[in-house]
Structure 1
Amino acid sequence: MSKIVGAYPPTLVGDSWDPPDGATWWRFRLQPNEDGHVYVQEVDAEQTWMSWEFFDGESTVIDCGLDRPAALVRLGGFDHGNHGHLDILHAGPPTPSPQWRPLTGPGELRHPEDRNCGCLCGKCLCGGHCHEIGRCYTRA
């Protein structure tokens, strides 16, 4: 079971975050464990950080905001009875599991399912919500 750790409550990516060189969007299809759980989420008692564990047969910790963030995470695909998927912008597969599949090429920072937010930079990480948050979230 690998673990994603980050600040709680989760925050938007700020323009000070610089994705690792060669970052690629990777997808992992979530699968339930023997108890039927797809993931396990925990928030610390002080409510300053959270962890999100998923069942990939590995034991990797992915930092999404506690120290120096190494990844950007998105969840999706929980409709129509699916168990969902986990997408991570990361340099190389996020864990050693062979189940990770690349969604983009190295350095392509926009998620393939994002609508065009209107930014001309081509590197916006806002998920198509620049107009809602009032600024473009790009690589420096």
Structure 2
Amino acid sequence: MNKEQGIAYAAITLDLLYKMKEKISPEILADQMNLIYDLYDLDEIEAEYENYKKSNKTIFRRNKGKVGSYIINLYDSSKDQIKNVEKFCFKHRLNLGRIYITKPGLNSEKYYELIRDIRNREIDVLVITIFTLMGMSVEEYAVLVKICRINNVNIIEV
């Protein structure tokens, strides 16, 4: 195994652990590295790593434009959520526009403002935090996903 292949194995493993939202310890990293090593042959790992890099570039290149964020103030967490969204947008060079902050519960006024702005194409990217997802009902989220899909709005969960 050469250096590039080792880097590719490590990067794919860390990407997988990140997507699983797994807390990383040396044992977990070693177990996942073994699984990835068994999954990919040496000759295909570099091509897979290049695909990972291209995919990530494509996602963030496509997500330019008007960014909105929907935040449900669950357990008085809105300030922390706003900081996390701003940090995410700054890191990925996204210009954050309107932030819709509301309390938990169905049919809030801000929810309908968000839907109206999505339909009027005032948002290209919608950033939602994990606390907001926890505070939303299944029906609210399903409607939001459907409207975003119809109006070509990307949803990013932070």
TM-score w.r.t. length of structure 2: 0.21
Flag the structure with higher helix content: 2
TM-score w.r.t. length of structure 1: 0.22
Flag the structure with higher strand content: 1
Q: Which has the higher contact order (CA 8 A, sep 6+)?
A: 1
